[in-house]
Amino acid sequence: MASVMSQCAKCSISSDERACRVEGGEGPAFCPTIHMGPVIERARQRYQHPDIREFARQSSIQEAEGYADRDARPSVNHPAKPRLQEICEFAERMGYRRLGVAYCAGLLSEGALLEKVLENHGFEVVSVVCKVGCTPKEEIGVRDEEKVRIGEFETMCSPIVQAEILNEAETELNVVLGLCVGHDSLFFRHSKAPVTVFAAKDRVLGHNPLAALYTLDSYYQRLTT
Ligand code: SF4
């Protein structure tokens, strides 16, 4: 059991004074940087594994190179690359050749476009749709009235099969495109290769779930009460 329950999202210390941003900085009573030293130390040890260290190092370089004009002073954030470009660049940095794409049947054309872009960058792409295997939902105990289309045969989304097919292909990085809530969790857990998300599914908001947060004071007020 942790000594404190981290609640960074409730932190009111200004960014340039936070313990996690400046050495010797401040933190509230629930601050994990100040009060969870042993956990942090244990986690930091893992970066000493050569593969993890290199993955983390390249991720950090990719992060920084996502900005232009980094030597300008005063410094102003100038983001310069869409995520699609960042995924291609990161995979290149890591020297990966074979990528997996685990996508949702609701985003068929997007899956085809993503595959095309990755192939154009020289990657070998193994793509697998969520409905792969054609397993009926009844197999996991879903009742007829719990289906999307009640009264019809319906194939379950099968993220474990997606992961196993990509595992079998020995992909080096798997890219998730629009898997459902929960299905994505199963995919993350069962994929052997590291996973990055290209897009999170939001059927209502054009796959931009943040729009609900941005309109929480107005159209999505009901979610706060
Ligand atoms: S780590 Fe500490 S200082 Fe940083 S956001 Fe969390 S609570 Fe605030």
Q: What is the per-residue pLDDT across 160-216, written as a single tens digit (0 to 9) for each?
A: 999 999 999 999 999 999 999 999 999 999 999 999 999 999 999 999 999 999 999
Report the alpha-carbon distance of residue 108 to residue 203 in Å, rounded.
14
What is the CA(103)–ligand 1 centre distance, in A? 35
Look at residue 18 and tell me if it is in a domain: no
**210 and 135 in a common domain:** yes
What is the CATH classification number for the domain harbouring 178?
A: 3.40.50.2300
Give the Cβ contact number of residue 154 at 10 Å. 17
pLDDT at residue 74 is higher than 80? yes
Tell me the best of 4, 6, 11 to mutate to test the pocket of ligand 1, counting ligand atoms within 8 Å of each CB and taking the most. 11
Averaged pLDDT, 211-224: 97
Same domain, 41 and 152: no
In this structure, the answer to whether residues 215 and 154 fall within a common structural domain is yes
Q: Are residues 63 and 126 in the same domain?
A: no
In a domain, 7, yes or no: no
Same structural domain, 124 and 173: yes
122-169: pLDDT as tens digits: 999 999 999 999 999 999 999 999 999 999 999 999 999 999 999 999
User: 39 in a domain, yes or no?
Assistant: yes
Establish if 130 belongs to a structural domain. yes
Same domain, 70 and 168: no
Q: Which among 3, 15, 20 is the best mutation to test ligand 1's pocket, defined by most ligand atoms within 8 Å of the CB?
A: 20
Where in the sequence is the domain holding 188, given as residue range(s)? 96-225
- Cβ < 6 Å from ligand 1: which residues? 8, 11, 13, 18-20, 27-28, 31-33
The torsion region of residue 156 among left (phi > 0), alpha (psi -120 to 50) and beta comes to beta
Are 149 and 54 contained in the same domain?
Answer: no
Same domain, 136 and 69: no
> Does 108 share its domain with 59?
no
pTM above 0.85, yes or no: yes
Judged against a pLDDT cut of 90, whether residue 17 lies above it is answered with yes
3: in domain: no
- One domain for residues 47 and 136: no
Q: Establish if 197 belongs to a structural domain.
A: yes
Name the closest-CA residue to atom 5, ligand 1. 8
Q: Say what the pLDDT of residue 2 is.
A: 62
**Which residues, other chains included, contact 111 with Cβ-Cβ below 8 Å and sequence gap of 6+?**
101, 103, 104, 127, 129, 177
Q: How many domains does the chain have?
A: 2
Strands ordered across the beta sheet of 173-177: 124-129, 98-103, 173-177, 195-199
100 and 63 belong to one structural domain = no
Q: Which among 195, 128, 201 has a CA at the least distance from the CA of 164?
A: 128
Is the residue at 23 inside a domain? no
Assess whether 104 and 214 both reside in one domain. Answer: yes
| pLDDT score at 214 | 98
- Kindly state whether residue 214 falls inside one of the protein's structural domains: yes
